[in-house]
């Protein structure tokens, strides 16, 4: 199985610039959902910066919560030159 939401797709997350990140919303049907760990750096005009992480949850279904298994994959792998659905 390698279609949308199968868990074996490439480019599940892509940075578009200007603070925009695209995330795949589909998830593997037999899994426990997915939790993205989006790392960011924010910088002001004076050159001061801070870093942080935002967690984005994509539950398995409407009645459950996604379980955070930690940072297991780099969801940006394979994104160069590819569009997302």
Taking the CB of residue 63, how many other CB atoms lie within 10 A of it?
6
Q: Note whether residue 85 is domain-resident.
A: no
Q: Higher pLDDT residue, 34 or 26? A: 34
Q: How far apart are CA 46 and CA 53, in angstroms?
A: 22
Is residue 53 domain-resident?
yes
In a domain, 5, yes or no: yes
In a domain, 12, yes or no: yes
CA–CA gap between residue 58 and residue 5 (Å, rounded):
11
**Is pLDDT above 70 for 1?**
no
The answer as to whether 36 is a domain residue is yes
Query: Has residue 81 been placed in a domain?
Result: no
pLDDT per residue as tens digits for the range 38-74: 999 999 999 999 999 999 988 888 888 888 888 888 8
Task: Give the burial string for 19-39 (b: 16+ CB within 10 Å, else e).
Answer: eeeeebeebeeeeebbbbeee
The range of the structural domain enclosing residue 27 comes to 1-72
- Into how many domains does the chain fold? 1
């Amino acid at each position: 199985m390698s279609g949308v939401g199968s868990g074996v797709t490439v480019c599940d997350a892509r940075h578009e610039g200007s603070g925009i990140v695209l995330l795949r919303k589909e998830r593997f049907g037999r899994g426990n959902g997915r939790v993205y760990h989006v790392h960011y750096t924010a910088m002001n005009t004076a050159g001061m910066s801070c870093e942080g992480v935002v967690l984005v949850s994509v539950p398995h279904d409407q009645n459950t919560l996604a379980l955070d298994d930690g940072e297991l994959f780099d969801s940006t792998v394979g994104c160069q030159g590819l569009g997302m659905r």
